[in-house]
Amino acid sequence: MKRRAALLVVGVVTPLALPAQTNPSQMAAQRAESLRLAGRPWHAAETLLAASARELHFDPAFILAGAKAELHARRYDRARGLLAGQPWLTDYAEGEGLAVLAEAEARLGLAAAAAADYAAAQSRAHGPRAALLAVRAGLAWEAAEQPDSAAAAYGAARAAGLAAIDAWLRVRQARVTRDTATAFRLLADVTPPAAREVPVARARALLAAGDSLAALEAFAQAGRALDVGRLALARGDSGRARDALYGLMARAPETDDAAAAVGVVLASLPPRTAPERVALARAMKPHGAAADARLEVERAVRQGDSSAATLLLLGELLAGAGRLRDAERAYRAAAKDAALGPLAIYRRARILVRLGDPGAREALGGFAQSYPSDTAAPTALYVLGDMFADRGDWAGATPWFAELVARYPADVRASLARFRLAAETQRHGLLDSAAALYQAEVATAAPQRTAARFWLGRLALLRGDTAAAEAAWVALAHEDSIGYYGLRARREVPLPPLRLSAPPLPAASPAVAASLARLDTLVLAGLDTAAELEVRAILGRAPQQEIEALLAWSDGLAIRGFGPAAVRVGWQAALKAPADPRVLRAIFPWPNRPAVEAEAAEFGVDPFLFVAIVRQESVFDAEALSPAGARGLAQLTPETAALTARGLDVTFYPDWITVPDLNLHLGAAHLDELLRRFGGRVDAAVAAYNAGVTPVTRWLARAATTDVDQFVELIPYQETRGYVRSVLRNREVYRALYGVTSN
């Protein structure tokens, strides 16, 4: 969200006006502007960079175009370098150059300079643009810790007439107003969702007025533990600060506030007790500091904390560090606890599997027998079967898989066991045994019953009963028309390719249009958190809305870059009109189609396959971040992005990884490389996109992997197996919904 605003503040409000002449620099600037408006800011910046290498003298329009392109490509230092010190800057284009410079400075953390340049740009602008620049100036003044200037800027923005976001502006103005009476008047009758921010704004107003004690209590009442801790520390109340910050880390370790609390306590309130060390470790672990977290837990144990919860955490951290024997000992020690003992026993058994320890079989089997009602019991039996199957010992694997199927027939692991047993029996020509396993999957309504129906058709075909195979597949294609197996079955029978024609959406109602306009204004003003809260409010209202409103909201959110929210609204629409093809477009949107198609075309990959991957990876959220550290629309890790960029001879810095078209550029190149590596096999390339090249190469070395259906079915990683199915399903749905590519 914060970066999305940078793409709008100087471009959507006042598009760059270029001369009509066609000299090379002007043509390059026009080309760059077209690329930027098509969602390709990195290409725009590269276009102008290449043009600048060919010419020595540039007019202001070209320089400003270059600075805008660099800003949109998040190369903020370059944008600032192009504009700083230009003699024409203050008088050009009603302050647009100043606004671009201010945005670059704000992104570089130069808050005071940004505030001054925003204010200068505001003084030269007119109408709504001047009001938006005033809000930006206010945000910069806040960052520069100049509340009086910030309050004046917000007041100016309100006076200039931004009625759609006035509630949010009142909140921002109140929090930096020193006169509490004035601040509280501003906060009176603030409407939702801005009303959610009123308690914190009251606390900040009290702080601005110098009443830190009242502010401290107000932050506490608002549930802002991080603010309580910081303010208590500033007041010299280390006891309250310690309680607030360590309590926050223990209670909500995965939050951004907990991550910030880690920095505060390490600088000023280092842990003293074992519980504090454990709380600190829990907050460190999900924020990229697992090694430091492990050290803190080890210190807590040395201080006498031998609780099962702490030992389980220690075991997890030791296992993550590859210290498997130490992890096994930690889990063994935790196994004595009455409540957490079963979990510790199970985790110890899994560690023994990783170690190749001969005691793994007894440990897993003993766990499954001793704790049959535990949710991990089916997994224990599956892992036992998997241990033998991976060694090719199906005589050893079969009893464990059979026990799993018998004891937990509807469990997902039982489904996996049935399919592995069926594949093995089929490989040996025992078609009736395989069919019985698939029929049991259907009869128990197990998770893979649709897949089982497809495979029953395959078995019928192997027996020579083409009529039965065709009947099974036709029924499946109709009943599971947009599912992976329904679409797969369609390709085997004389049915035409799936086509889904969706009529255009009607114009949004006044209420929806006003909501989306308010969202636009917040983003243009740089009020990113407020925009996110508005989106949450839309999601909260969705169950009560009519289908037309839901579709309009979904379309509007997707266009504005809120892909995950757009799809969630689409699913709400599906509850009301599941057969409406417009609903499918809401669930499978394509908001940045020109950019996705252009990058796919550049590397010769199927655009429907590429959009299927983007939809599965990020749901079109340019700022998406996975637990593994993958970033952006195509979800690339920094290592993969850097390696791919080197192969393309593209300059790359980690901060650029979420620039939309650069991320797509590298993602398409990576997909192309995987397709070439695996001989054009889409199934293997997609699996490698998710799991990496090494495991896929290993899987392909197994028997029967020339059969694509068998390969997908026998992918050992459950996540990857589901991922491949979803991507291949997505590709066909996008092809059905969007027809031929627009390139």
For residue 740, what pLDDT band results from cuts at 50, 70 and 90? low
Q: Is the pLDDT of residue 26 over 80?
A: no
For residue 1, what pLDDT band results from cuts at 50, 70 and 90? very low
Q: Is the pLDDT of residue 279 over 70?
A: yes
Q: Which residue has the tokens 């650069």?
A: 662
- Same CATH topology for 2-231 and 511-587: the answer is yes
Q: Is the pLDDT of residue 429 over 60?
A: yes
**Local structure of residue 438 (DSSP, 8 states):** H
Question: Helix, strand or coil for residue 640?
Answer: helix
For residue 233, give Cα distances in angstroms to 236, 282, 611. 5, 22, 49
pTM: 0.90
Rounded to 5 degrees, φ, ψ at 631 are -130, 155
Q: How much is the average pLDDT of 256-282?
A: 97
Catalytic residue among 441, 492, 617, 732: 617
80-121 pLDDT, tens digit per residue, is 999 999 999 998 999 999 999 999 999 999 999 999 999 999
Rounded to 5 degrees, φ, ψ at 738 are -110, 0
Closest CA to 84 of 132, 94, 103, 150: 103
For residue 24, what pLDDT band results from cuts at 50, 70 and 90? confident
Domain residue spans of the chain = 2-231, 511-587, 593-738
The answer as to CATH 1.25.40 being correct for domain 511-587 is yes
For residue 571, what pLDDT band results from cuts at 50, 70 and 90? very high
**Local structure of residue 531 (DSSP, 8 states):** H
pLDDT score for 15: 44
For residue 714, what pLDDT band results from cuts at 50, 70 and 90? confident
CATH number for domain 2-231, candidates 1.25.40.10, 3.60.21.10, 1.20.150.20, 3.40.50.300: 1.25.40.10
pLDDT score for 6: 42
Cα 427 → chain centroid: 40
Closest CA to 487 of 675, 720, 712: 712
The stretches of 303-393 forming alpha helices (DSSP H) are 308-320, 324-334, 341-355, 359-370, 377-390
Contact between 442 and 449 (Cβ < 8 Å): yes
365-400 pLDDT, tens digit per residue, is 999 999 999 999 999 999 999 999 888 899 999 999
Q: How far, in Å, CA of 163 to CA of 505, rounded?
A: 28
Q: HSE-up of 152 (CA within 13 Å, CB side)?
A: 8
Q: Is the pLDDT of residue 16 over 70?
A: no
Q: Is the pLDDT of residue 238 over 50?
A: yes
Which residues are 625's β-sheet partners? 631
**Local structure of residue 255 (DSSP, 8 states):** S
Closest CA to 26 of 47, 4, 5, 1: 47
Q: Which residue has the tokens 């026993």?
A: 345
Question: Helix, strand or coil for residue 22?
Answer: coil
Closest CA to 23 of 53, 59, 47, 49: 59
Question: Helix, strand or coil for residue 202?
Answer: helix
Q: Is the pLDDT of residue 334 over 50?
A: yes
Q: What is the fold of 593-738?
A: Lysozyme (1.10.530)
* Cis? peptide before 193, omega within 30° of 0: yes
Contacts of 219 (CB under 8 A, 6+ apart): 200, 203, 227, 228, 231
For residue 61, what pLDDT band results from cuts at 50, 70 and 90? confident
Of 701 and 405, the one with more pLDDT: 405
| 617 included as an active-site residue | yes
510-532 pLDDT, tens digit per residue, is 999 999 999 999 999 999 999 99
Q: Is the pLDDT of residue 337 over 90?
A: yes
How many residues are recorded in the chain?
743
Q: How far, in Å, CA of 479 to CA of 70, rounded?
A: 50
For residue 187, give Cα distances in angstroms to 156, 166, 283. 17, 11, 34
Q: How much is the average pLDDT of 565-572?
A: 97
Q: How much is the average pLDDT of 683-711?
A: 91
Report the share of the chain in percent with pLDDT over 70. Answer: 96
pLDDT score for 481: 92
Q: How far, in Å, CA of 263 to CA of 261, rounded?
A: 5
Q: Which residue has the tokens 């050009």?
A: 92
The encoded tokens of residue 687 equal 């699996």
93-111 exposure pattern, b = at least 16 Cβ within 10 A, e = fewer: bebbbbbbbbbbbbbeebb
120-164 pLDDT, tens digit per residue, is 999 999 999 999 999 999 999 999 999 999 999 999 999 998 999
Q: How far, in Å, CA of 291 to CA of 740, rounded?
A: 50
Q: How much is the average pLDDT of 719-728?
A: 96
Q: Is the pLDDT of residue 490 over 70?
A: yes
Q: Is the pLDDT of residue 341 over 80?
A: yes
Burial-class residue 716 by CB neighbours within 10 Å (0-12, 13-18, 19+).
middle
Cα 208 → chain centroid: 36
Q: How much is the average pLDDT of 398-421?
A: 94
**Local structure of residue 130 (DSSP, 8 states):** H
Question: Helix, strand or coil for residue 535?
Answer: helix
Query: In the chain, how long is the greatest CA-to-CA distance?
Result: 87
634-684 pLDDT, tens digit per residue, is 999 999 999 999 999 999 999 999 999 999 999 999 999 999 999 999 999
pLDDT score for 22: 60
Burial-class residue 20 by CB neighbours within 10 Å (0-12, 13-18, 19+).
exposed
Question: Which pairs from 600-603 meet CB under 8 Å and 24+ separation?
Answer: 600/668, 601/741, 601/743, 602/665, 602/668, 603/668, 603/669, 603/671, 603/672
The stretches of 391-503 forming alpha helices (DSSP H) are 394-407, 412-427, 431-443, 449-462, 466-479, 484-490
Q: How far, in Å, CA of 178 to CA of 90, rounded?
A: 32
Which residues are 631's β-sheet partners? 625, 636
Q: How much is the average pLDDT of 260-281?
A: 97
Q: Is the pLDDT of residue 78 over 80?
A: yes
Q: What is the DSSP string of 674-737?
A: HHHHTTT-HHHHHHHHHH-HHHHHHHHTSTTTTSHHHHHHT-S-HHHHHHHHHHHHHHHHHHHH
Q: How much is the average pLDDT of 527-556?
A: 95
Contact between 420 and 402 (Cβ < 8 Å): no
The encoded tokens of residue 576 equal 């009301």
Question: Helix, strand or coil for residue 56?
Answer: coil
Q: In this structure, how many other beta carbons lie within 10 angstroms of the beta carbon of residue 405?
A: 24
Question: Helix, strand or coil for residue 631?
Answer: strand
Contact between 72 and 100 (Cβ < 8 Å): no
**Local structure of residue 159 (DSSP, 8 states):** H
- Mean pLDDT (the chain) is 93
pLDDT score for 469: 97
The encoded tokens of residue 586 equal 């809401």
